[in-house]
Amino acid sequence: MNIERKNGTCRLKITDDPIFREFNFRELVLDRLTDEDLLVILDLSLVQSLHSPGLANLVSIHVSLQKRGRQLQLTGLNEHNLRLLKATNLDRLLVVV
């Protein structure tokens, strides 16, 4: 996972597709954040296909960040993954840019 920080934004690029499906992915993300990270952008451009554990991780991260007054945005989703978010109505919960 590559991390870039600038002006209160933390951009995390997922560089290993399998890590995204692991149950502790939420902790991996949250442990890398600082108090200054108000906006968290997850770049999923290298994630070929979202599966149930990955979707659960996204929702869990979103809820955790929201409770802390922070925002999650997703970027780099391929068409298959965008369709999956729409089919599960998660596009209404998660911000995709």
Does residue 84 fall inside a structural domain? no
pLDDT of the residue at 50: 85
CATH of the domain at 47: 3.30.750.24
pLDDT of 17 reads: 62
| pLDDT at residue number 24 | 79
* Domain count along the chain: 1
pLDDT score for 45: 93
Interval 56-81 mean pLDDT: 95
Q: Which residues contact 93 (CB under 8 A, 6 or more apart)?
A: 59, 62
Beta partners for residue 12, in sequence order: 3, 42
**Residue 85 placed within a domain:** no
Compute CA distances 46 → 3, 29, 41, 77, 96, whole Å: 15, 16, 14, 8, 15
Domain contains 70: yes
9-65 per-position pLDDT tens digit: 999 998 876 666 666 788 889 999 999 999 999 999 998 888 888 898 999 999 999
